[in-house]
Chain A
């Protein structure tokens, strides 16, 4: 920092049109206009985990979107004469069915590609629903504190006392399993972490002076919450969203495996594992392939989440 040499003191009778000379401090050229988000993205380009996670997830999303174009066969077309063909790397495999076929002779690669649609759909919508519920509760608790906070904390504690898998099982068996039911049940169950993280982050941001400045400018509460607080807790929300997305995908697989989730003939990865379990010892690829797909997807999402956490809060790293 440089200091201006002493110049005459401010005279008391300055004419209103006289401009204050720009001090040396402010005359320095400004850094280019980059938003905090843009800066974080630039850091992301140098973060290995973030790049790998984003890359794999991007590929899976592409495959899911372009499923009708890239899937070699109809995922529902049965052909009992061609059942349980092993994948291409097997001695008996063929390029006709790269990943083989299942017990009803349906092409496994096509089912896997269509299955990614279901996993992603469930992961995204469950994270979205629970995100909306949890963020709303958390932001209200964190901003208003006091009784609102006590009430929300009570609701969160109650929710934490419920075992997710058991409640989801009970709900699905009561209402009957279907894609819609799975999305709703998971969305209504997985908001606790959103609420806890949002509440803590909101309390922290709320104490900062720019929130006081917004109040002093006469902003309404809704405007303060949406404009001042929400953008500043977004980083934490994205990280939680990735975690919950992975969580929801695994839960869907578990529910489908138990027969209470997505119903056949939909090609859910969990369902594929369930359908293959009787062939586990003789045709292990029937369950390994969807299992590995699940692992890769969840790993990619978690890498992405870790990456977002690192690049938005670089001071937390060494």
Chain B
């Protein structure tokens, strides 16, 4: 039996007074074995990131170690002073972060940042450092390493920036790599590449990796061992396969059941229903002025987008960041004015309306937004938020208020929620309020722009179920924008795949997943995390 590289024993981290619970992490014990990847998985607030920060000595000042030990190479890390930490961090234990844009210094060349790792620890000569930086850039698969080390972070793509971060982390050949959600900010195809890279590097160098994630798909792709955290406590740990295929703890089982499957369920046909939303030849081009003498930059955000959406149908628009899917949504409800094309609501030409007529007809198409914390005015009560729209359109206030309470009930909130301000609600509850606000206008079409992307997987499942249910009961047409193929598979009747501003493929969900025709669709499906694992198997819409 080999000794673990890192042994966390009975670790307890105390939260400051006034937090929602006394401990961020309570009695946590984990072993990180040499040459293995341990995934710590949990929902937001589970304490998974804090355990990673404890291992690198970077705990926020408000958090205090209340007990336990972290042993690394025979030393107890928790007793180290700042000087000893500096010798250890970067050299023996390296860390990569979630957001590569903010984790890199924006005014320093990539190569210099990699070389700085040696400089900070007083290693090598300047010429050797430069040579090592190029070699590391090559090792992490950055294109044209000699040139790219001279680039600044903003000149790199998200995936390239994360590669540069990994190169920095690897520079001093640490024995432990701590990765805090390193692929969460990346597109799915980029994420697949970075996961592959981490896997390869870990095997080539025999490193141990502590990988923090919220995504069971990522766990399925990369983990040797899994530890599941719930509210600071370890609920289950073991080999990845065993945990994923045969979870023991009820919490793990519920979490896994909440992960939407990649196999779409059977869906009733809707072809006979009338068309609720018809979009044709939609286009939007952005021109950025290139300074005083520079050439203007022209970006076609949306090109010739066309689709029909029938009553009682959900059309998913799937694509990566920058594909134009969100712009399409905003064009459809005229939050952004289209340059070309028409949007028809039933027989009404929505794009031809003047300002006054537009305000009157806006109620027919409503939107649910991505960020539940930015989409509700913090200064107004829930009742004011829900009733403001109908009252502005002439509904008597008393009637609007009664309706607001019905709607709160409909979306699964207590009617007493009406008197509260948004600050009293969690993310999932706020999203329900956002849905109630949209429904209060009695729209024909609901546009959901990444409506569940900011939510934890269990809450996401609840909101998806609510949307599915509402659509069926109210016969609403829904345009569902998402980057997440699993979510799309769960809720969409048809899917349109967008790439660089244009729809490259459209079809019924089951057919599109079974036989994708466009190469881009195929690469998207192949990149979906956990696509080869138990998570891809069909299971019912989670509750």
Contacts and interface: CB of A to CB of B under 8 A. Distances in A.
Interface of A: 1, 3-10, 12-14, 16, 19-23, 25-26, 30-37, 39, 208-210, 212-220, 223, 227-228, 231-232
Contact of B423 (A7, A34, A209, A228): A34
B379 A232 contact: yes
A33 to B, nearest CB: 4
B172 interface: no
B335 A22 contact: no
Contacts of A37: 379
A8 B371 CA distance: 29
Contact of A210 (B376, B462, B542): B376
B379 A217 contact: no
B289 interface: no
Given A6-B543, A23-B462, A1 B45 contact: yes
A46 B483 CA distance: 45
A232 B376 CA distance: 12
Contacts of B362: 215-218
B523 interface: no
Nearest to B411: A20
Contact of B543 (A8, A16, A215): A8
Contacts of A35: 379, 381, 421
B392 A213 contact: no
B254 A4 contact: yes
Contacts of A232: 377-379
Contacts of B254: 3-6
Nearest to A7: B543
29 contacts: A1-B43, A1-B45, A1-B231, A1-B456, A1-B458, A4-B254, A9-B540, A10-B465, A12-B268, A20-B410, A23-B462, A31-B420, A33-B420, A34-B421, A35-B421, A36-B421, A36-B423, A209-B371, A212-B335, A213-B437, A216-B362, A216-B365, A217-B366, A217-B392, A218-B360, A218-B361, A219-B359, A220-B359, A232-B379
Nearest to A20: B412
Interface of B: 43, 45, 231, 250-251, 253-255, 257-258, 268, 330, 333, 335, 358-363, 365-367, 369-371, 374-381, 385, 388-389, 392-393, 409-414, 416-417, 419-421, 423-426, 428-429, 432, 434, 437, 441, 456, 458-459, 462, 465-466, 468-469, 472-473, 540-543
Main secondary structure of the interface of A (DSSP, over half): loop
B392 A30 contact: no
B375 A210 contact: yes
A242 B371 CA distance: 34
B375 A14 contact: no
B462 A216 contact: no
Contacts of B363: 217-218
A32 B423 CA distance: 10
A1 B421 contact: no
A228 B360 CA distance: 19
Contacts of B335: 212, 215-216
A166 B416 CA distance: 58
A36 B422 CA distance: 9
B432 A26 contact: yes
B388 A6 contact: no
Contact of A25 (B358, B360, B426): B426
A217 B543 contact: no
B542 A19 contact: no
Contacts of A13: 472
A16 B371 CA distance: 29
B270 to A, nearest CB: 11
Given A10-B541, A208-B375, A231-B379, A219 B255 contact: no
B421 A6 contact: no
Contacts of B45: 1
A212 B258 CA distance: 31
B169 to A, nearest CB: 29
Contact of A30 (B251, B388, B417, B541): B417
Nearest to A21: B412
Given A26-B414, A232-B378, A6 B542 contact: yes
A5 B424 CA distance: 25
- Which 8 A-B residue pairings sit nearest by Cβ, starting from the closest? A9-B540, A217-B389, A218-B362, A209-B375, A231-B379, A209-B369, A7-B543, A218-B359
A176 to B, nearest CB: 45
A315 to B, nearest CB: 12
A39 B250 CA distance: 38
Nearest to B362: A218
Given A14-B469, A26-B414, A34-B421, A223 B392 contact: yes
A178 B376 CA distance: 48
A26 B412 contact: yes
Given A1-B456, A9-B543, 17 more contacts: A3-B254, A10-B468, A10-B541, A20-B466, A22-B412, A30-B416, A33-B420, A208-B374, A209-B371, A212-B367, A214-B388, A216-B333, A216-B365, A217-B366, A217-B388, A228-B377, A231-B377
